[in-house]
Amino acid sequence: MRPASPQKLPRFERGEYVTLTNIAFGKGKERDLELLEHLAEHMRKDSFCGLGKSAAVPLQTALKHFREEIEAHLYGHCPAGVCDLGGEGAAA
């Protein structure tokens, strides 16, 4: 299944999509992680329905358990060696 294009996502989700994509390709900044944490927390607190409250849980879980790996991507390194970050850690 192919992910939705950023243009087809609601504005709030589009920001997360672009931010996560930038991090995955080694173009993210430390402030991007702070933004994602902020957005996820507000989604959980400010949503009126259960789906909205739980939508950010996968992101929060990833940040909790894989933060070092996510931060490595900010500096252009993929610890798992599966991401194409301009030559280093390129996928086979």
Given 3.20.20.80, 1.10.1200.120, 1.10.3720.10, 1.20.1440.230, which CATH number is that of 6-74? 1.20.1440.230
CA distance 40 to 82: 26
Task: Indicate the pTM of the whole model.
Answer: 0.64
pLDDT tens-place string over residues 14-66: 555 677 778 878 888 888 888 888 888 888 888 888 888 888 898 899 989 99
Per-state percent for the chain, helix, strand, coil, to nearest 5: 60, 0, 35
Q: Quickly count: other Cβ atoms within 10 Å of residue 32's Cβ.
A: 19
CA distance 22 to 28: 5
pLDDT tens-place string over residues 61-91: 998 999 999 899 888 888 888 877 754 444 4
pLDDT at 13 over 60: no
Domain ranges for the chain:
6-74
Residue 28 in tokens = 């993210």
CA distance 4 to 72: 26
